[in-house]
A and B are shown apart, each in its own frame.
Chain A
Amino acid sequence: MIDILITNGRVIDPASGRDEIANVAISNGFVTKIGRAAPKAHQTIDASEMIVSPGLIDLHAHCREPGHEEEETIATAAASAVAGGFSTICAMPNTHPPQDDETSILYVLQRMARAGKARVLPAGCITKQREGKELAEMGMMLEAGAVAFTDDGTGVASTIVMQRALQYAKMIGVVLMQHCQDPDLFGGVMNSGAVAVRLGLPGIAASGEEIMLRRDLELVKRTGARYHAMHLSSAGSVEIIRQAKAEGLPVTAEAAPHHLLLTDAACMGYDPNYKMNPPLRSASDVEALRLGVADGTIDCLATDHAPHAQEEKEMEFALAPFGIVSLDCALGLYTKALIHSGLMDWPEMLARLTVNPAKIIAPTLGLLQKDAPADITIIDPKKRWTVNVNKFASKGRNCPYHGWKLKSKAVTTIVGGEVKFQL
C-alpha cells in the first residue's frame, strides 16, 4: 500500500517534457511511479481537470525572522508559501541580525523544521552585516545549508568586493544573487519619469539597475562564477541579460509578479502598496519583461514577497518601506500575466516556477519523476477567486492585489510526500 495516489491529473514535468493524464504514486516522501496504474493508497486525491506539477519554487521571499516577527515568521511565510502552491522558498538574508554566518543559517533551518510546512532554504549574505565591505563566511554557511548568497535589499556596491565574492563563489560552486542597484543612483522612492515628477517624488532611474548589472557581467566574464540577477525591472536589463546569455555567460535572472503586471502610474494615489524596490516602471518595461520571460531570457518567476506591518504602510509614500506580499496569490498573478495574455502555456510557465529555479539553488527539487522527492502542487487552472488579503496565511496585508479577480489556484501542496495544504 502506497501513501498517496494522485489520480487522473494532467501531469506536467517541465524537466522531462512529460505532459499527459496520469496517476502519481507517492511513498516514503518520494514519487514511486507515474503512469496508468492505480495501486491501493492510504490517501487518494482526485486530480481530474487539474494540473499536477512539481512543487513550485520561489527564489525570493523575505521571512523577516529573526528580527521582525511582527511582520512575518518563518512559519507564517512557509504557511503562506504552501497556500500559494510553493513547496520551496528561498529565504532572503536581510533579517535582523542578517543571515551572515553559520549559526543564522542553522537557525532558519531549525525554524523551518519546526514549522513543518514548505521547505525554507536560506540564502546567506555575501558580505558581513550586508555592509558590502568584508566577505561573509560563505563556505561555512554553505556547509550549514545555505543555498545561495546575496545582500538583497542592496547590491554589492564595491567592484573589488564583488569581484572577490565571485571568485570565492566560483571556488565553492555557489550562485551569487545580486540586487542590481548602483547606490549613487539610488535615493528615490519610485520610478524616475513623468509620474514621479508629477507627484513630486524622487525617482529611481532604470540606469541604476542596468549599470550594476553591466559591471557584474564584466566580473562574471573574468571569474566564471554563477550569477543570478534578481527582480529585473527594466527593458534595458532584459536586453543586457539576453546578450550575456548569447555570449554564453553562466547567468540567470528572475522577474517578480508586480513587474509583470503593474506600472508606475499605479503610484498616482500615493498608496505605499505600490512602493517597491526595484520600483514599478513603464508599460514598455512590463512588456519587455513579459517577453523576456517568454523567450527564456528570464529563467525564473520569483515573488519578492516582502511583508510589512500595516502601520508602516499607512505612512507618507516616501517614508513607507519598500515591498509587498504575494506568496498567497502569486500563481494566479503569473497566470494572468503570462498564460491569459497568450504568451505561453502551462508547461512553459511551470518550468519557470519549478525546474529552472531548482537548477539554481537545489537541483534535486523541481522534478516530477520517479524517485524524485514528492514535492507536488496540484493546480486548478479554471478556479476563479478573488484576492482577499485578510485571508492570507502570511501576516502581511501590504498587497496591492486585494480585490483582484484571478483565475487558477493551487488546491493541494505536497512537500516531501506530506500534504501541507489543501483548499
Chain B
Amino acid sequence: MTKKASSSSKETDSKPDNDKFVWTRKDLVGLDELSAEEIVHILDTAQSFQEVSTRSIKKVPALRGKVVALLFFEDSTRTRMSFELAASRLSADTVFLSGKGSSTSKGETTLDTVRNVEAMGVDAFVIRHSQSGAPHLLQDKVNVPIINAGDGQHEHPTQALLDIFTIRQKLGTLEGVRVAIVGDIAHSRVARSNILGLKKLGAEVVVVGPPTLVPSTITAMGCEVSNSLDDILDQVDVINMLRIQFERFASNLFPSVREYSSLFGMNSKRLAKCRKNVLIMHPGPINRGVELTSDVADGPNSCILQQVTNGLAVRMAVLYLVSRGRE
C-alpha cells in the first residue's frame, strides 16, 4: 500500500516524465524500426501507467477529448479489449470497426476505409489486419498516428512489448537473458516482434519447432534455430510458447496435434528439466494440453496472466506516446 501511495502521488498529473527522452514517432508499426532507447522508453512509460489500474477510479485524463479508432480488419477479442480498456483508462473515446460486416467485405480497399474513418476526425488508429504490411501501406497516406495491433505474419509490436515488459519485471533486465520461442515461428507475428525487440535489448533468442514451421533463414534476424525442445530446456531463462493454429495441421505442416504436443508441448516432465526459475509465457489463447499442459499453464513458473495485465499498461503507454508525441 505504501508503495502504491508513493507512486500515485508522483503520477497524479498523469504525465510520466521518465528520463529526458522525447518521443517523436507518429506511428508504432513495428519493433523493427525502434531503437533500444525507444523500446525502453515505452517500457518505462508503461511502468508509470501500471499504477492507474490499481486505483479505485481507473482513469487518468491524459487523452480526454481524443478519439481512438480501433480498426479490426481481422478478428480479435483480447487485443481489442486490451486496447479499448487502455484507451478508456486514458479517457479517450473509442470507435470500433470490424472487418466483417464493414465496407471491406463490400469490396472497399483498406486504404479507402481508413481514409474514410480519418475524414470523420479521429486522433489515432489501432489497426489489426490479416495482411502483412497493411500498416505500412497506410502509414504514409494518413496523417493520424497508426498503432499496429498485429499485421498478418509480420509484427505484433504491443504483444512483444508486453512480453518484454513481463520479462524485465520478473528478471530485472533483458541483458544476457536467453529466451526460447517455441512453435509456429513461420506464421507468427508475435515471434518476429519478440525476436527484434529482445535482440535490441541484449537478450539472446532461440526459436524452436519443426523445420516446416521454422524457416532456416530466420537466423538472419539474429536468432538461433533449434528443432528440439528437449535440447534447449536447460539453457534458457524464458520459454514463450506460441499458440498453434489448427489450420496449419490442415495444410499438412505437421502430422498431428498429438505429435506436435509430444515433441513441442510443455509439460511437467519437461519443466523439471528446465532452470528452476524459468518463466513460462504464452501470448494466448492457450490450447490446453497442446502447447502447455494445465499444470504448467497454472503453475508457479507461469506468468501468462501477468502478461495480460501488463498488456494494458503497455498499450496505455503506446497510445499515450503516439497521440501526444507530436504535440
Contact = CB atoms under 8 A, between A and B. Distances in A.
Contact of B109 (A193, A199, A203, A311): A311
Given A270-B137, A311-B109, A193 B217 contact: yes
A269 B221 CA distance: 17
Given A311-B109, A316-B137, A198 B132 contact: no
Residue picked from A197, A201, A269, A315, most chain B C-beta under 10 Å: A197
Nearest to A269: B136
B218 interface: yes
A316 B217 contact: no
A270 B153 contact: no
A318 B136 contact: no
A316 B99 CA distance: 15
Contacts of B129: 316
B131 A319 contact: yes
Contacts of B218: 194, 197
Contact of A317 (B131, B215, B220, B221): B131
A143 interface: no
Main secondary structure on chain B at its contact with chain A? mixed
How big is chain A's contact interface, by range? 10 to 19
A200 B189 contact: yes
B137 A315 contact: yes
A199 B111 contact: no
Interface string A332-356: 0000000000000000000000000
A194 B155 CA distance: 15
A270 B133 contact: yes
A314 B109 contact: yes
Interface residues of B, number: 24
B227 to A, nearest CB: 16
B155 A316 contact: no
Nearest to B134: A316
A293 to B, nearest CB: 27
B181 to A, nearest CB: 14
Given A200-B192, A270-B137, A314 B111 contact: yes
B91 interface: no
Residue picked from B110, B137, B192, most chain A C-beta under 10 Å: B137
A198 B110 contact: no
A200 B154 contact: yes
A193 B221 CA distance: 12
Given A270-B132, A314-B111, A317-B133, A197 B152 contact: no
A320 to B, nearest CB: 9
A192 B186 CA distance: 12
Contact of B133 (A192, A193, A316): A316
A201 B134 CA distance: 12
Contacts of B152: 200-201, 316, 318
Interface in B144-188: 151-155, 186
Interface string B122-133: 000000010111
B253 to A, nearest CB: 12
A161 to B, nearest CB: 25
A318 to B, nearest CB: 5
Contacts of A203: 215
Contact of B132 (A200, A314, A315): A200
Contacts of A193: 217
A318 B131 contact: yes
A197 B133 contact: no
A198 B220 contact: yes
Contacts of B110: 315-316
Given A194-B220, A315-B137, A316-B131, A201 B153 contact: yes
A199 B132 contact: yes
Interface string A174-206: 000000000000000000111001111111000
Nearest to B135: A270
A314 B108 CA distance: 12
Contact of A197 (B111, B137, B220): B220
Contacts of A192: 217
Given A194-B217, A270-B132, A314-B109, A200 B153 contact: yes
A34 B265 CA distance: 79
A314 B137 CA distance: 8
Contacts of A315: 109-111, 137
Interface string A302-343: 000000000100111111000000000000000000000000
Contacts of A317: 131-133, 137
Given A197-B220, A316-B129, 7 more contacts: A197-B186, A197-B218, A200-B133, A200-B192, A316-B131, A318-B152, A319-B131
Interface of B: 32, 109-111, 129, 131-134, 136-137, 151-155, 186, 189, 192, 215, 217-218, 220-221
27 contacts: A193-B217, A194-B218, A194-B220, A194-B221, A197-B217, A197-B218, A197-B220, A197-B221, A198-B221, A199-B132, A200-B133, A200-B153, A200-B155, A200-B189, A200-B192, A201-B152, A201-B153, A269-B136, A311-B109, A314-B109, A315-B110, A316-B131, A316-B132, A316-B134, A316-B137, A317-B137, A318-B152
3 nearest CB pairs, A to B = A270-B133, A200-B153, A200-B154
